[in-house]
Amino acid sequence: MKQIPHDVFRAVRRIHGGVPVPHQKNTAGCEITRIPTPTQVMLSMRQHIGAPCAPIVKVGERVTVGQKIADTDAFVSAPIHASVSGTVTAIGEHLLPNSIRAGVITIESDGLMTLCPEIAPPIVQNTADFLKAVRESGLVGLGGAGFPTHVKLTVPPEKHVDTLIINAAECEPYITVDYRECLDQSRDLLRGVYLLLEQFNFKRIIIAVEDNKTDVFYHLQKIAQDVRDRTHAVQLMTLKSRYPQGAEKLMIWAALGRKVPVGALPADTGCMVLNVTTVSTLYRYFKTGKPLVSRSLTVDGSAVAEPKNVRAPIGTSVRDILDFCGGLTTEEPYKIIAGGPMMGFALPHADFPTLKQNNAILAFAQGEKFVKPERNCLHCGRCNRACPLSLMPAKAEGALQLGDIDTLRRIGTETCMECGCCAYTCPAGKPLVQHMRLAKEHIQKEATKA
């Protein structure tokens, strides 16, 4: 393994808690391959945090790649664009990988991938134009969060953001698409970094990478050493490899020592965090005008015949993507997951559409059990120590069983980011993340009743 170059800064802080997970970056050597055009895509109206979109096309209408097919007036949202050319065959509802039922537009592909004739690079004269264009791109955080990018870039006038952190940590096991983006698309990333620097005049841009991806630093050095960076604003930073290092608030703490209070946003502490692939995709949009219609995903796990990194039109079914990777090695996989093994969602079958925020599809064979048989709590406190937010998952589980909403609120259950560290470390095999999710739902239901 290469050494980290000497001019790369080290983050001085380590995150609190967390767990040392096996990296399993089996596809790190696999360049991203484009899958053949699927016969059908299903595009969900909820592919972002915020208000769902409403269809603006009708059944029977012909659409082209990049044509806007759904939108809303809500600010916290992102429009949806056709990812294949063809005909809208249905507008209905479907269950999504994250267990939410949402509106879905089905497009039968004509196989031609005809580009929408109206696509052109956006004309930008000021920051308002820039933000409007980012919204039109349909771009959301591609690291898994799905937060609309234009919302993140919109800083209220009373706040001052001096630092942009570009998150290339990719700390979940198996997933390697951001790693590949850094290696294979470093030019687009470089241009994206300088596009943002020119637009927002950040004092500092930190590209943060975990110390287990040493070769990435050599590719990214040209970004930090670009002639446009006269003030040396762009820096590379190495972070101690530990899950969930890539979580936004933890990243800000490790990189800058700034603590984002509960209920506050990164902008409240003068910084902003963007995923690395989001930045290079942003640049490609400003260059071509083509909105977000496809994305890269890692396909891996013991039940996948040929693990790969693929690029697929958004809305392609998990089954089509698995088929492109040689299919499953077993008829009855133990688990199919949309996302990583720590924060992803288990799917009951492969007939789910992929979303903008899906960065991986994993499938595991029987026998690969990371779930231990559940026993009574041993009161060992490991879950508390592993929680990066210092929550008390075992106590929350007890309060959930008693329906004690006041205690759940008092111990900060709502702030749980569902990282899975507590469940991973629990020797009693307690499904603590599911309990935390359920507890959060109970709190929300109670709040809507009031």
Q: Which residues bind ligand SF4 (CB under 6 A)?
A: 377-383, 386-387, 389, 391, 393-394, 416-422, 426-428, 430, 432-433, 436
Tokens of 123: 């004309």
Strand ranges (E), 32-182: 32-34, 40-44, 54-55, 62-63, 68-71, 80-81, 86-95, 101-109, 163-167
Q: How far is the CB of 408 from ligand SF4 (least distance, A)?
A: 12
The length of the chain is: 450
Residue placing its CB nearer to ligand SF4 in the complex, 66 or 420: 420
Instruction: Collect all residues with Cβ–Cβ distance below 8 Å to 100 and sequence separation of at least 6.
Output: 46
Judged by beta carbon, residue 247 or residue 361, the one nearer ligand SF4 is: 247
Q: What φ, ψ does residue 233 adopt, rounded to 5°? A: -75, -25
Residue closer to ligand SF4, measured from CB, 252 or 391: 391
φ/ψ of residue 389, rounded to 5: -105, 10
Give me the least distance between CB of 243 and ligand SF4, in Å please: 10
As measured in angstroms, the least distance from the Cβ of 435 to ligand SF4 is 9
Which value, to the nearest 10 degrees, does the dihedral of the CA atoms of residues 414, 257, 280, 288 take?
A: 80
Measured from the CB atom, the residue of 295 and 430 that comes closer to ligand SF4 is 430
Distance of closest approach, residue 372 Cβ to ligand SF4, in angstroms: 10
Which lies closer to ligand SF4 via its Cβ, residue 150 or residue 382? 382
In the bound state with ligand SF4, the residue whose beta carbon lies nearer, of 293 and 386, is 386
Q: Which two tokens stand for residue 156?
A: 């209220």
Q: Phi and psi for 284 in degrees, rounded to 5?
A: -60, -35
Peptide bond into 353 cis (omega under 30): no
Q: Are 271 and 252 in contact (CB under 8 A)?
A: yes
In the complex with ligand SF4, which residue's Cβ is closer, 69 or 400?
400
CB of 430 to ligand SF4, least distance (A): 4
Three-state SS at 199: helix
Its sign, for the CA torsion 68, 69, 73, 74, is: negative
- The residue behind tokens 């595991």 is 364
Q: How far is the CB of 423 from ligand SF4 (least distance, A)?
A: 7
C-beta closer to ligand SF4: residue 107 or 387:
387
CB of 244 to ligand SF4, least distance (A): 7
At its nearest, how many Å lie between ligand SF4 and the CB of residue 431? 10
Q: How far is the CB of 158 from ligand SF4 (least distance, A)?
A: 30
Between 177-184 and 186-200, two packed helices, what is the crossing angle to 10 degrees?
90
Task: Locate 180 and state its tokens.
Answer: 């590949």
Q: Are 63 and 107 in contact (CB under 8 A)?
A: yes
End-to-end Cα distance, the chain: 57
